[in-house]
């Protein structure tokens, strides 16, 4: 199991190149590249020279002994009834898929959306439009559970959507924090989701607010979460989406905060692996 983290805030503080080196220094095996901030100069979906930039980021990662395991596409993926937004956003999503391939990552994360009608069929139709690009570039779209039933928050909802799509192009990502706010609970979601689960967003919260904080700093039961992942036979990576933990500190302490995040991540990985052997 690789230990990974998104590093969007770190790249804002230090620049993307230096942030990649820092994640390697902190003990991460991989990094998750975020493409949702469309104002960023190094965001490949929004600027010229993006292929070269992505290739350079991959080289820097490899030189430092790590890799990219997943990315996050712009969101919302689409908006019901907003033709102008959808026309502008769809090419960005296609570009995100290609950028993911250049980085060498397996998954690009995307969000389902409420449609105010037949949510399942309309989301299925949307994602099927992206399937040819997944096949072309050898990348899977990992569809994420969000907060609120209209956003496929329950395991049966997200399972039905994923089961309706081509498994060679689509898989599931569990956001542990989102599941905990929705009242289902991450362990229960993991058990219900089963083999559809290929990727994670790992962060802590108080079951009310989407805190995106470091595990063991809020209120989730991490022993139960680790047990559920081990018992489900989860074979993917452990990827933090806990950037707000680092944002709490002055810039001068950000490197130390990322080192702490790496230490907590290693502990969680070892806990899951130990439970698999029990």
Instruction: Compute the distance between CA of residue 159 and CA of residue 153 in angstroms, rounded to an integer.
Output: 10
The predicted model gives 92-116 an average pLDDT of: 97
Predicted pLDDT at 117? 86
Instruction: Compute the distance between CA of residue 33 and CA of residue 18 in angstroms, rounded to an integer.
Output: 14
Taking CA atoms, 236 is separated from 23, 50, 118, 171, 261, in Å, by 19, 28, 31, 11, 19
The answer on pLDDT for 9 being more than 90 is yes
112-146 in b/e form (b: 16+ CB < 10 A) is: bbbbeeebeebbbebbeebeebbeeeebbbbbbbb
Name the one residue in this structure whose structure tokens are 């470091």. 214
The answer on pLDDT for 184 being more than 90 is no
HSE of 132, CA atoms in CB hemisphere, 13 A? 3
The answer on pLDDT for 138 being more than 90 is yes
Predicted pLDDT at 47? 87
The predicted model gives 7-33 an average pLDDT of: 97
pLDDT in tens, 212-260: 999 999 999 999 999 999 999 999 999 999 999 999 999 999 999 999 9
The predicted model gives 13-31 an average pLDDT of: 98
Count of C-beta atoms within a 10 Å radius of residue 102: 19
Predicted pLDDT at 118? 87
Dihedral angle sign, alpha carbons of residues 75, 80, 85, 91: positive
The predicted model gives 83-90 an average pLDDT of: 96
Domains and CATH numbers, the chain: 3-277 (3.20.20.150)
Residue 6, SS3? strand
- Is residue 277 classed exposed, middle or buried when 0-12, 13-18 and 19+ CB atoms within 10 A define those classes? exposed
Instruction: Compute the distance between CA of residue 236 and CA of residue 166 in angstroms, rounded to an integer.
Output: 19
CA 223 to chain CA centroid, Å, is 21
E-only strand ranges, 185-242: 197-201, 238-240
β-strands 30-34, 67-72 pairing: parallel
Instruction: Compute the distance between CA of residue 57 and CA of residue 16 in angstroms, rounded to an integer.
Output: 8
Instruction: Compute the distance between CA of residue 105 and CA of residue 269 in angstroms, rounded to an integer.
Output: 20
The answer on pLDDT for 38 being more than 90 is no
Residue 175, SS3? strand
Predicted pLDDT at 49? 92
HSE of 130, CA atoms in CB hemisphere, 13 A? 33
The answer on pLDDT for 75 being more than 90 is yes
pTM over 0.85: yes
CB 29 within 8 A of CB 66: yes
């Amino acid at each position: 199991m690789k230990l990974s983290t998104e590093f969007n805030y770190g790249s804002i503080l230090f620049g993307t190149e230096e942030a990649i080196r820092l994640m390697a220094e902190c003990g991460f095996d991989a990094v998750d590249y975020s493409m949702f901030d469309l104002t960023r100069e190094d965001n490949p979906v929004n600027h010229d020279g993006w292929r070269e930039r992505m290739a350079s980021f991959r080289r820097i990662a490899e030189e430092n002994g790590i890799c990219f395991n997943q990315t996050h596409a712009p969101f919302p993926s689409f908006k019901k009834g907003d033709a102008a937004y959808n026309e502008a956003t769809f090419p960005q999503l296609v570009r995100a898929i290609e950028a993911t391939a250049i980085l060498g990552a397996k998954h690009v994360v995307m969000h389902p959306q409420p449609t105010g009608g037949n949510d399942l069929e309309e989301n299925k139709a949307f994602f099927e439009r992206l399937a040819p690009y997944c096949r072309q570039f050898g990348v899977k779209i990992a569809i994420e559970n969000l907060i609120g039933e209209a956003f496929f928050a329950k395991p049966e909802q997200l399972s039905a959507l994923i089961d309706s799509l081509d498994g060679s192009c689509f898989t599931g990502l569990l956001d542990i924090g989102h599941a905990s706010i929705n009242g289902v609970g991450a362990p229960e979601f993991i058990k219900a989701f089963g083999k559809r689960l290929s990727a994670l967003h790992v962060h802590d919260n108080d079951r009310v607010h989407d805190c995106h904080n470091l595990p063991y700093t809020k209120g989730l039961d991490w022993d139960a979460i680790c047990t559920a992942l081990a018992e489900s036979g989860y074979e993917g990576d452990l990827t933090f989406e806990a950037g707000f933990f680092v944002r709490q500190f002055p810039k001068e302490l950000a490197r130390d905060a990322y080192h702490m995040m790496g230490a907590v991540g290693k502990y969680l990985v070892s806990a899951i692996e130990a439970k698999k052997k029990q």
